[in-house]
Amino acid sequence: MRSLIREIPAASPAEALQHFSRRFAFETDCADVHQSQQAGDVDYVLVDVRGSDAFAKAHVPGAINIPTGAITAEGVADYAPDTLFVVYCAGPHCNGVHRAAIRLASLGFSVKEMIGGLTGWVDEGLPLQGETPASDPGFSCAC
């Protein structure tokens, strides 16, 4: 009996290399964002795409709030065409971050997802800003 893992054959090493290498074109993680902030090497705009009430409760330091629904040509008109946006939402359980990424890309901007979102940030033990203590961050999508 074959394990469920081997039921579908693994990709070839060449296919795996291509797949996993490409993921870095679309994703970054909380540790990389934090490290770039600590090094003062922030060459992107970090965007929390949740609603303004959720953002006020808790957000990643240095993030701005542009709720997904507000990502329009008018809403991002002040950004240079070569701006890289790094977007996040409440966590891996929310697809609002993907909706936001689609909107930004459709407007011609480069975009990456900070995988894990706010949940991942807290899981890494990193500090939050906002009105609510870190022990009760009040995560909600409301994207």
Q: What tens digit of pLDDT does each residue of 14-45 get?
A: 999 999 999 999 999 999 999 999 999 999 99
In the chain, the percentage of residues whose pLDDT exceeds 70 is 92
Q: Enter the pTM of the model.
A: 0.89
10 Å CB burial of residue 23 (0-12, 13-18, 19+) is exposed
pLDDT digits (tens, 9 = 90+) for 100-129: 999 999 999 999 999 999 999 999 999 999
Domain 26-123: top CATH class = alpha beta
* Distance between CA atoms of residues 25 and 96, nearest Å: 19
Q: Where are the domains of the chain?
A: 26-123
